[in-house]
Structure 1
Amino acid sequence: MTDRTRAETSLPARTTPIRGVVFDMDGLLLDSETLAMDALEEAARDLGHDMPLSFCRRMIGVPADGCRKLVREEYGADFPMERFFQLQEEHLRRYVDTGRLVLKEGVEPLLELLDELQLPRAIATSSSRYRAEHHLKLAGLDGRFDAVVTRDDVIRGKPDPEPYLKAAERIGVAPEDGLALEDSHSGALAAYAAGFRVVVVPDLLAPSEDVRGKAFAVVESLLHVRDWLRRVDM
C-alpha cells in the first residue's frame, strides 16, 4: 500500500515551552497500519467476505470496540465477528513476527533528542496492552517511554480524551504544557480535546479539514518535530 499522504505545512517557529511528549503508536511510531489493513483484508477473505481497503481504513486509530461497531453496521449481526478479529490478530502477529514491522522515519532521532533534553514521554494507543508491549519489544522501543497507556487502561478510547489525559497524568505533565503526536483523525481529536498541542504526521489517511483546523501543525515526518524541538525554547 503505497498511497501515503504527505503533509503540506511545517511547524511554527516558536511556541510556549514543551514539558512532555505523548505519542500515538500505530502509524506514528510503528509502520504497522499497512500490516493491520492487510490482516483485515486477509481475515475477511478467509471467511468468504470481501472487505475493501476503503472500509478497512475507516478503522484506523479506532479502538477495538469501535471497530466492531463499524463492522456490525456494515456486514450485519450474522457476521462472525469474534472469529474475524481472531484471524486478523493471527495474521497481524505473523506479519510482525516475520520481520515486517519497522519504525517510522525519525523515531530514533526524536527519542534521542528527548533523552538529551530529559523530557518525559508516554504512549497513548488504541491497541491492547498485549499488542502494544509485543510490538514495542520487537521494534526495540520497550523501555524508551515513561508510561504506556493502552485501550485496556481506559474506559473510553479515542476520540475520547481519556487516553491522553491519563498519559499526561502518568508523566506528570499538564496537557497544555505537552505536545501530542498523532497520525489518525480519532487520535488527533482525542489529543486536542484533552488540551494538547497536536502535531499530525499523516500515514495512510490525509487529515480532514476538521483535524487540520485543530492541529498545531501537520508535518511530513517526525524529523520535522525533532528539528523544531531543537529550536524552541524549552
Structure 2
Amino acid sequence: MSNTEKPQSLPIFGVIFDMDGLLLDSETLAMDALVAAGHELGYDMPATFCRRMIGVPADGCEKLVRDTYGDEFPLRRFFDLQEKHLRSFVDNDKLVLKNGVTPLIALLDELRLPRAIATSSSRLRAHHHLKLVGLDKHFPFIVTREDVENGKPHPEPYLKAAHLIGVEPRFCLALEDSHSGARAAIAAGMRVIIVPDLLEPTEDVKENALAIVNELTAVQPYIRQAAGMPIA
C-alpha cells in the first residue's frame, strides 16, 4: 500500500462477522438470562450492570462480577444458571436473525467473498445458535472464545479468522456491534462497520470506524463499492 493510499480505498476480499447482537438478536436474551440467574441465587443484578458484559469474553465477565459482588459470589453456579436460562429462551423460539442478515449473505455468495465469524461466545453456544437459525451452513469458519488465548478486545480472534479465510487483515471488513469487538477488529488492522445493538459506540470507536449504520442492510453499498459493483 502506498503512503497516500487510504485503507478505505482498498478492495474487500473477506468479511468477518461478530455473532451476538450482530447476526443474532441474542444480546437481550443473554441479558435477561443473566438477570434471571442472579435472581435465582438471591442477588439483585440490574440490566445496566449486565450490559457491561456485552461483547466481553468469559474471563472478563467473571472478573467484572467478582469485582462487583465479591469473592464469595457463586460465580460458576451463576454462569451455569445463565446458560440454562438462555438455552430455555433460545429453544422456545425467541432467537431470531437481525434485520439484513439474509440479503447480506446472499450478496457475499454472489460475489464469492469468503467469510468467518469471530465471537466471544463458547463453541457449544455458537454452533447451537447458528444451527438453530440456519446460518451454520453459510459460515465454514467460526472462531470462538475457546479457539484463542486472548479474547476481544485483543485482536487475536480477528487475526485468526482472517488467517482461516486466507485474507490479509487490511483486505477484510469486520462487522461489529460492541465496543470490545470493534476495538479488536481495529487493532487487527481491519476496517470495521459498527451496527449498534444495546450499546452506543464510544468516542474512540466512532473515530476509528469506517461507518456506523442502523442495520446490516446498510452495509451492502460499502461491499458493492469495494467490489466495483454498481450501488443499488
TM-score normalised by length of structure 2 = 0.94
Instruction: Give the Cα separation in 1 of the matches to 2:211 and 2:30.
Output: 26
Task: Give ranges in structure 2 of 5+ residues lacking alignment.
Answer: 1-7
Question: Highest relative contact order (Cα 8 Å, sep 6+), 1 or 2?
Answer: 1
- 1:141 equivalenced with 2:165 (yes/no): no
Matching residue of 1:40:
34
Task: Give ranges in structure 1 of 5+ residues lacking alignment.
Answer: 1-13
Q: Alignment partner for residue 82 of structure 1, among 54, 76, 81?
A: 76
Matching residue of 2:89:
95
- 1:152 equivalenced with 2:159 (yes/no): no
Alignment of 1:1-234 (within 5 A): 15-234=9-228
Instruction: Give the Cα separation in 1 of the matches to 2:204 and 2:48.
Output: 20
8 Å contact from structure 1 (residues 120, 146) kept in 2: no
CA RMSD of aligned residues (A): 0.9
Matching residue of 1:11:
none
TM-score normalised by length of structure 1 = 0.93
What's the CA shift for 1:146? 2.9
Instruction: Give the Cα separation in 1 of the matches to 2:221 and 2:210.
Output: 16
8 Å contact from structure 1 (residues 182, 198) kept in 2: yes
What's the CA shift for 1:60? 0.0
Deviations 1:166-217 (A, max 9, x none): 0000000000001000000000000000000010000000000011011111
Instruction: Give the Cα separation in 2 of the matches to 1:43 and 1:154.
Output: 27
What's the CA shift for 1:229? 1.8
What's the CA shift for 1:15? 2.9
Deviations 1:111-145 (A, max 9, x none): 00000000000000000100000000001101101
Instruction: Give the Cα separation in 2 of the matches to 1:106 and 1:18.
Output: 19
The one-letter code sitting in structure 2 at the alignment partner of 1:168 is A
> What secondary structure is seen at the aligned counterpart in 1 of 2:89?
helix
The one-letter code sitting in structure 2 at the alignment partner of 1:113 is L
Instruction: Give the Cα separation in 2 of the matches to 1:180 and 1:59.
Output: 20
Q: What percentage of residue pairs aligned between the two structures are identical? A: 67
